[in-house]
Amino acid sequence: MAFHGHTLFWHQEPIRWAQSEKFDRVKHNYGGFIRDVMQHYPQAVSWDVFNEIVGEQAPLRDEFFIQPFGLQFIDYCLRLAHECAPAARLAINDYNLECATDWSHAKQDNMLRLIVQIKAMGGPLHAIGIQGHLSSIHKASAESTVRFIDRLADLGLDVFISELDVNDSTMPVDTAVRDNAVAAYYEDFLTVVLSRRSVKRLVFWGISDFDNWVVRRQTRERRRSGKARPALFDDGLQPKPAFDAVVRALQGAPRR
What are the catalytic residues?
A: 52, 163
Question: Could you please report the per-residue DSSP string of the chain?
Answer: --EEEE-S-BTTS--GGGTTS-HHHHHHHHHHHHHHHHHH-TTEEEEEEEES---SSSSS-S-BTTBTTHHHHHHHHHHHHHHH-TTSEEEEEESSSSBSSHHHHHHHHHHHHHHHHHHHTT----EEEE--EEESSS-B-HHHHHHHHHHHHHTT-EEEEEEEEEE-TTS-SSHHHHHHHHHHHHHHHHHHHTTSTTEEEEEES-SBSTT-HHHHHHTTTTTTT-----SSB-TTS-B-HHHHHHHHHHHHSPP-
What's the CA gap between 185 and 168, in Å, rounded? 10
Nearest alpha-carbon partner for 49 in 57, 38, 36, 60:
38
> For residue 52, how far is the Cα from the chain centroid?
8
Q: How many residues does the chain have?
A: 256
